[in-house]
Structure 1
Amino acid sequence: MSGKPSKTCFVTIGATASFDRLIRAALSVDFGKALESHGYTDLRVQYGKDGDGLFDACLRHARDAGTSTLNITGFDLDMDGLGQYMKQAKGQGIKGANEGVVISHAGSGTILDALRISVPLIVVPNAELLDNHQVDLAQALAEQEYVVYGRLNNLAQALDDAEALRKRHKAWPPVNSGVHRQARGLKGVMDDEMGFLD
């Protein structure tokens, strides 16, 4: 693998709520194959407090399947934040790295961090939360083409969509400029907060 350029998928569940289903989906054999088919070399998972047992069990299962060549690593929390891992997924500052993707719960702080560095983001709402604000946020941002709305049962399709979103974001004019900004709504507020100008 050392001769191949690196490409990272970073998965984060945040710091406040567990999201075991996202960890399981990200470490599934099918998703590993999807990552490999898109040229990914690394999968890094932030599994949260007390998630190490689940991570280890899922990792053992993925390795027992014997089909993955991915370098899979994980950690619980990083008190310095997730910026360095998102930059790694973007390929920023890493010689020979290709742009990857971030997969996240729909926490607003994590979403803003990923949007600031312009890394493709797949947002997977945690439906187990009481106030399902994550679904509303993910849908609104996906409709405006800032993120891909991911579903636990089909992360492979979300990965395809994220690769397509990356291409659209690199096209000119950007999807969030000029005539694309007709309505103020959430998108307008996000543009103003993030510093995107017409």
Structure 2
Amino acid sequence: MSQKTCFVTVGATASFTALIRAVLEADFLTALQNNGYTELLVQYGEGGKQLFDTHSKTAINAAKDEGNEIKISGFDLDKAGLGRYMRQAKGANLGAGEGVVISHAGSGTILDALRISVPLIVVPNADLLDNHQVELAEVLAEQDYVVYGKLESLDKALGEAEVWRKKQRQWPPTNSGVHRHANGLKGVMDEEMGFLD
């Protein structure tokens, strides 16, 4: 069985304990298993180690009881950045399946994921003051760049991310604007030469 990774990042500056708890819930782990995932990798941020350790032990034990074989691991911060973890979720390793990134709605993290075209579920952190994350996530989801995730329904967002992956493989991509559909070779030639209606 090939490796398929779900990479979760809460960012470096603000705590997002609710997201850590949500991805370690039994329902979400079952959704991962049902979608062929083999690994859950969580960047839990500074100060999140104790919370992650406590909840991951419970999640691992519950998963074993249900026959779920997802490998769960985590880390606080990586000064080299998150690129390698996102590429792992993209399936860049030999023989790995394409996974997903679940992220807080930080613009830097979103841009990093969009650059490598990995399916991205954006979950705004509602605890932040002057919260721009909700607005950013809504706009990007409307334009079909990301899947808007909610803490209480991450299993549903995971399914939507699988659909998003298939839509992004279409040409032209669904979020690339309005396109004319030329009819046959004549239509293609007319369009290339600038002979538009």
**Could you say which TM-score interval applies, normalised by the shorter chain?**
0.7 to 0.9
Match of 1:50 in 2: 47
Give the AA of the match of 1:77. Answer: L
TM-score using structure 1 length: 0.87
Q: CA RMSD of the aligned region, Å?
A: 0.9
- SS at structure 2 position matched to 1:179: coil
Partner of 1:80: 80
Q: CA deviation at 1:178?
A: 4.1
In structure 2, stretches of 5+ residues that fail to align are 180-197
Deviation of residue 175 (structure 1)? 1.2
For residues 168 and 130 of structure 1, the distance between their equivalents in structure 2, rounded to whole angstroms, comes to 34
- Kindly provide the CA deviation profile for residues 51-70 of structure 1, in whole angstroms up to 9, marking residues without a partner as x: 11000111111122122310
Larger Rg: 2
Residues 117-148 of structure 1: per-residue CA shift (max 9 Å, x gap):
00000000000000110000000000000000
Q: Name the % identity.
A: 65
Matched, 1:148 2:151: no
**Counterpart in 2 of 1:118?**
117
CA displacement at 1:83 relative to structure 2: 0.3
Q: Runs of 4 or more off by more than 6 Å in structure 1? A: none
Structure 1 residue runs of 5 or longer lacking an equivalent are 181-198
Report what 1:174 is aligned to. 173
Deviation digits for residues 57-102 of structure 1 (CA, Å, limit 9, x no counterpart) = 111111221223101110000000000000000011x111010000
CA gap 1:19/1:178 in 2 versus in 1, 3 angstroms = closer
TM-score w.r.t. the length of structure 2 is 0.88
Q: Whole-Å Cα distance in 2 between the matches of residues 131 and 14 of structure 1?
A: 17
The total of aligned residue pairs comes to 176
CA contact (8 A) 2:89 2:99 kept: yes
In the alignment, the residues of structure 1 paired with residue 121 and residue 53 of structure 2 have an alpha-carbon distance, to the nearest angstrom, of 23
Q: Distance in 2 between matches of 1:152 and 1:103?
A: 11
Match for residue 102 of structure 1? 101
Aligned position for 1:16: 13
Pairwise CA distance, 1:176: 2.4
Q: Give 3-state SS (helix, strand or coil) of 1:61's partner.
A: helix
One-letter amino acid of the counterpart of residue 70, structure 2: L
Alpha-carbon distance between aligned partners in 2 of 1:178 and 1:40, rounded to the nearest angstrom: 32
Kept after mapping to 1: 8 A contact 2:60/2:72: no
Kindly state the Cα deviation for residue 177 of structure 1 after the two structures are TM-superposed: 2.2
1:50 deviates by: 1.1
Matched to 1:63, the amino acid is I
The offset of 1:161, in angstroms, is 0.4
User: Using the alignment, how far apart are the partners of 1:107 and 1:135 within structure 2?
Assistant: 10
Residues in 1 aligned to 2:81 and 2:21: alpha-carbon distance in whole angstroms:
23
Q: Does 1:71 align with 2:71?
A: yes
The residue number in structure 2 matching 1:185 is none
